[in-house]
Structure 1
């Protein structure tokens, strides 16, 4: 079935005509005659081919074959075999069976088109011809409804590829990394998206409009990755794009400075990964560490740099000279970590399997690679987590799924890397790891981001459980906000999610797990009124991320089902009842929220105070009743300045 196809073929995309199954379209990569540049749309011998006898014979219709490694997608209109779509940086369309392509269907569409669905049966009914057109042939049928998937999300057209509507109403972002600041009342989240720049936005807003796309601000870049908050300037950020393209951006004045370290003329080039690790020093805020083939130390708001390591990779020329977009770069530091407990103690891991440590801020590096046990030794070091409790302790996550080994690999050292113990426990056998995070308060509590969701261990890695309502999606980053204990994750396909107040996980011990029921301590809260906005009148077509629940959050542990109901009675410190909450006694963790207002059973509906007004600031008690079991916790309530309480 290769009659008419070129030799030395590579990737091939196929499409069969629904209106005439004997017609097959192919976009064929061929190395015959050589290759062009990455941006060259035409192939020397490959291109678009057409068969009208079910693939027995082929005719080259066009030389078009844009970046076959990344695209190689072709479609035929179900109602018209002459209407052919070719997906590439833009969407190309042909109305003569693939001979000629035009570019007029990509207005206001994000580049890099990867998926196209055409709905059959959407050809409009023919209109009676105008008198002046009665001798012209009728227009060929064209299906009108198209769905286009690009690096910028999903688009929809009801006009055969014109007038695209961006369906930005689903949380489908692909975040590589995130960072949290300490803004109040809601901390900010900054991070980088696959081919969609770097962004910063709030974890909540004081409005019933909830978190909208417009609440987020772009911080420039191509693909986005690490973003750091300036420690002294609320409006200054340090962000990066692919291949170590770091920049400083100021949102007040719009200034953007591109500040990637560059060697002097004639010196060997620096190598940077697509996603280069970048971190702000905890001991000297303002100092930034950046990973390339060596480790860089950036100072003076990134304006200056010094190289503080040799090349830490194997620097195999057979693997470090690949051409392409930069995503092919290899032989680089992929993971960097600084000890929160000891200044100058840095860890570095490379994509070609080397692991290093320095105890004097790069003055001397010691290789630890040979200390790693199999199967982790020599594998891609995807994340290093330096312990918050002990400077001698660290975790290293590696993976090898690129070579067909999907096993999770996670190790722990308590002697600065001299010896290592596996802590993969009972993580699913095919759940490759991307990130590990130690809780900053309880060192026995670990979190792991895998290719199939988020897991937690309450015993330092012996046993793991899936947590939250996170779908089986790749979790690329995990961060814990120090003040609120909120747990934020970055996913590759479901954007960002936040689990409010992870304190109950910190407090969850075997002793508590053995109890019939338990009420965990609650954090102090500040009451305020949310602005009404226009949420009840501007339709359902606006995407809204969820706000944190208003008021106090209570978490209850139930060991097993007994038929009893969870009941929480809330009183002032004087003992005055103010609210009663109930929930089914479902085994596991259950959360209940109190909005700082009296519940109806302790207030008067007619003649009483306004039920929407908040209760006064002060100390409160919450008492859990579950069957015969009772547990009491105290918590404090503040009110935003200027609020007059009940």
Structure 2
């Protein structure tokens, strides 16, 4: 904020992306939306592509709920169903179309087996919070069910950032974690407790009432001995992993009937680390990843491990991630769903990627500032990598499909042409100039169809031909080839062919000759004088007289004929339809001499690029005289299918 009158009024700088996201989720709309919870700023939803030429604006954002925002997930089969979280384990479900919402936090009444787990003799007082957290911080228009900041007895403890995850095998099934794991198979209307207390349940640290010393500071952020991360195996829904803030990694292989604590099988870790993320593999039910975070105790080393036998043993996959101060604390890890060797980690200072399963890591920033990345999501359809940062809002790496296709075989080849993502001819929903300069403008994804290829070594010139097998049109592009991954964006247009270009040149030559004769013979000195003034004032041909010595400045006819001579030279030298367009624009300035015939095809139609219709096109990549064949696809905006 800025004030120039001592605080009487303030100016908000809403053009800075400085949001502190805890967790993010994506829906399956097309284009998809990203949802996330922010520190002290509720839950937000924002499109990944606004269809607005101005970019992604504040106007496109929707605020879904209040409070501190945390985990947000969307039903992959119905974008209208959004699950959201606020601090200390309060959860809600919202219809994003009607904005109807309901609290779904587990209560003794909605938890069908609550009596099986409730211990009336549990020796602990209820946490006495200093800020009275409650469900109504999500939405204040429905009755609150909390009692002095809690909704369950003290036996059930909730993290400040309580996890909420959707089952990858059944979109109606969701999990939330307190000190016990809760599971719902009806979108949160009712719950089952499916675990005992999975934490250390340490009496010395499980109640945060007296945290803060002389000044009480019990907001919920101080809660401990809680579940922090949950993941169900996409391969086998009976396999569920849980990680806690007091360092335990737990697994059930039978849907919660029994649990195994596999923490001691992880080599070389201290007992005061948080489990920052558990990630079940997309390829094998026995495989999972776990990351641990020790920055709470000034340990900033990267901890990342992999198991292939349900946690009986673990392999260090932190590889060559930085260990020296300031280290590389890992907040999250994500395994790609198409390539088991492709992993990403979100760290305190950005994102790293490995394509060999964790032996060698590389910084994966591509414009991302050095910032804490608390959550990563790979969009399951579009293959975008979405990062929720704690300080610089949401960032998206568009289309990581070349990395998904990268293999050892590809990397030892000299050249490889990847299968590309479909290019979309997005409609234009621009709103015009209705937004001030003090609001955010984020870029939309680059327009065009990507053509991705791998080069083992650098090449000064690489040729890319896109051919339409129906019309016979060919678009040729050139690029400098860098070692590694390369991307060229085809704008989904074909240029006019040689015959069309020469026919248009001949038409403009006839137009020029007619205008030239009119300037020579007309008796309308008033029109010539006005055109002379227009030419000198508007500078339709800016570099025509660089020395500013206009010939016959007082003679309109001489000046205009000289200008037409320059136009004739430009017409003869034109090599592209863009240059012919410039010539046509200059000739249009003489329309007063042409009269009404200017409205009846005198100038012909403008020569433009030809938009490629939806379909598949042949791609030929030529490197050092050798051609490599592939395809690229184009589709219409999916909104057109709704007409």
User: Could you say what the CA RMSD is over the residues aligned between the two structures, in angstroms?
Assistant: 2.4
The equivalent of 1:316 in structure 2 is: 202
The equivalent of 2:380 in structure 1 is: 482
- Give the distance between the partners of 1:373 and 1:642, measured in 2 at CA: 52
- Give the distance between the partners of 2:400 and 2:313, measured in 1 at CA: 31
The equivalent of 1:552 in structure 2 is: 449
Q: Does 1:636 pair with 2:628?
A: no
Q: Taking structure 1 as reference, are residues 593 and 600 closer, same or farther at Cα in structure 2, changes over 3 Å only?
A: farther
Query: Paired residues, what number?
Result: 487
The equivalent of 1:295 in structure 2 is: 181
1:185-234, Cα deviation, whole Å (9 max, x unpaired): x0111111111101112110222132112212111131111112245553
1:44-77, Cα deviation, whole Å (9 max, x unpaired): xxxxxxxxxxxxxxxxxxxxxxxxxxxxxxxxxx
The equivalent of 2:6 in structure 1 is: 160
**Structure 1 counterpart of 2:59, from 206, 209, 214:** 214
Q: Are 1:228 and 1:279, in contact at CA under 8 Å, matched by a contact in 2?
A: yes
**Structure 2 counterpart of 1:189, from 5, 22, 34:** 34
Residues 57-206 of structure 1 mapped to structure 2, 5 A cutoff: 155-184=1-30, 186-206=31-51
Q: Does 1:286 pair with 2:132?
A: no
1:13-34, Cα deviation, whole Å (9 max, x unpaired): xxxxxxxxxxxxxxxxxxxxxx
Q: Structure 2: which 5+ residue stretches go unaligned?
A: 110-117, 121-152, 210-217, 502-576, 581-603
> What SS class does the counterpart of residue 512 from structure 1 fall into?
helix
Q: Taking structure 1 as reference, are residues 554 and 377 closer, same or farther at Cα in structure 2, changes over 3 Å only?
A: farther
- Give the distance between the partners of 2:201 and 2:638, measured in 1 at CA: 59
1:575-617, Cα deviation, whole Å (9 max, x unpaired): 8343222333333333221121124787743567763652222
Q: Does 1:276 pair with 2:162?
A: yes
Q: Does 1:470 pair with 2:368?
A: yes
> What SS class does the counterpart of residue 238 from structure 1 fall into?
strand
Q: Are 1:598 and 1:611, in contact at CA under 8 Å, matched by a contact in 2?
A: no
Give the drift of 1:641: 7.4
Give the drift of 1:258: 2.5
- Give the distance between the partners of 1:228 and 1:581, measured in 2 at CA: 42
Q: Does 1:620 pair with 2:466?
A: no
Q: Taking structure 1 as reference, are residues 611 and 409 closer, same or farther at Cα in structure 2, changes over 3 Å only?
A: same
- Give the distance between the partners of 1:276 and 1:490, measured in 2 at CA: 16
More strand by share: 1
- Give the distance between the partners of 1:610 and 1:515, measured in 2 at CA: 42
Q: Taking structure 1 as reference, are residues 481 and 641 closer, same or farther at Cα in structure 2, changes over 3 Å only?
A: closer
Q: Which moved more, 1:625-634 or 1:214-223?
A: 625-634
> What SS class does the counterpart of residue 530 from structure 1 fall into?
coil
Q: Are 1:516 and 1:629, in contact at CA under 8 Å, matched by a contact in 2?
A: no
The equivalent of 1:24 in structure 2 is: none
1:294-350, Cα deviation, whole Å (9 max, x unpaired): 101134331212211111111112111123110000000111010000022100111
The equivalent of 1:39 in structure 2 is: none
Give the drift of 1:263: 4.6
**Structure 2 counterpart of 1:238, from 83, 87, 105:** 83
- Give the distance between the partners of 1:313 and 1:286, measured in 2 at CA: 27
Q: Which moved more, 1:511-520 or 1:333-342?
A: 511-520
Q: Does 1:397 pair with 2:291?
A: yes
Q: Which moved more, 1:301-310 or 1:430-439?
A: 301-310
The equivalent of 2:142 in structure 1 is: none
Q: Structure 1: which 5+ residue stretches go unaligned?
A: 1-154
Q: Name the larger-Rg structure.
A: 2
Residues 340-489 of structure 1 mapped to structure 2, 5 A cutoff: 340-375=234-269, 379-429=273-323, 430-467=327-364, 468-489=366-387
> What SS class does the counterpart of residue 341 from structure 2 fall into?
coil
- Give the distance between the partners of 2:639 and 2:65, measured in 1 at CA: 38
Residues 557-576 of structure 1 mapped to structure 2, 5 A cutoff: 557-562=454-459, 564-574=460-470, 576=472
Q: Taking structure 1 as reference, are residues 642 and 281 closer, same or farther at Cα in structure 2, changes over 3 Å only?
A: closer
Q: Are 2:243 and 2:277, in contact at CA under 8 Å, matched by a contact in 1?
A: yes
- Give the distance between the partners of 1:539 and 1:579, measured in 2 at CA: 40
Q: Taking structure 1 as reference, are residues 164 and 245 closer, same or farther at Cα in structure 2, changes over 3 Å only?
A: same
> What SS class does the counterpart of residue 459 from structure 1 fall into?
coil
- Give the distance between the partners of 1:497 and 1:314, measured in 2 at CA: 36
- Give the distance between the partners of 2:56 and 2:348, measured in 1 at CA: 27
1:482-513, Cα deviation, whole Å (9 max, x unpaired): 21111111111111111121110012223333
Q: Taking structure 1 as reference, are residues 203 and 640 closer, same or farther at Cα in structure 2, changes over 3 Å only?
A: closer
> What SS class does the counterpart of residue 356 from structure 2 fall into?
coil
Give the drift of 1:384: 0.6
> What SS class does the counterpart of residue 205 from structure 2 fall into?
helix
Q: Are 1:383 and 1:434, in contact at CA under 8 Å, matched by a contact in 2?
A: yes
- Give the distance between the partners of 2:66 and 2:638, measured in 1 at CA: 39
- Give the distance between the partners of 1:415 and 1:469, measured in 2 at CA: 38
Q: Does 1:519 pair with 2:516?
A: no
Name the structure, 1 or 2, with higher relative contact order (CA <8 Å, separation 6+): 2
Q: Are 1:190 and 1:228, in contact at CA under 8 Å, matched by a contact in 2?
A: yes
Q: Taking structure 1 as reference, are residues 408 and 629 closer, same or farther at Cα in structure 2, changes over 3 Å only?
A: farther
- Give the distance between the partners of 2:272 and 2:6, measured in 1 at CA: 51
1:371-425, Cα deviation, whole Å (9 max, x unpaired): 1111266521110110001111000101211111111000000001001110110
TM-score, normalising length from structure 1? 0.71
1:54-109, Cα deviation, whole Å (9 max, x unpaired): xxxxxxxxxxxxxxxxxxxxxxxxxxxxxxxxxxxxxxxxxxxxxxxxxxxxxxxx
- Give the distance between the partners of 2:456 and 2:620, measured in 1 at CA: 18
Q: Taking structure 1 as reference, are residues 639 and 234 closer, same or farther at Cα in structure 2, changes over 3 Å only?
A: closer
More helix by share: 2
> What SS class does the counterpart of residue 402 from structure 1 fall into?
helix
- Give the distance between the partners of 1:610 and 1:300, measured in 2 at CA: 59
> What SS class does the counterpart of residue 442 from structure 2 fall into?
coil
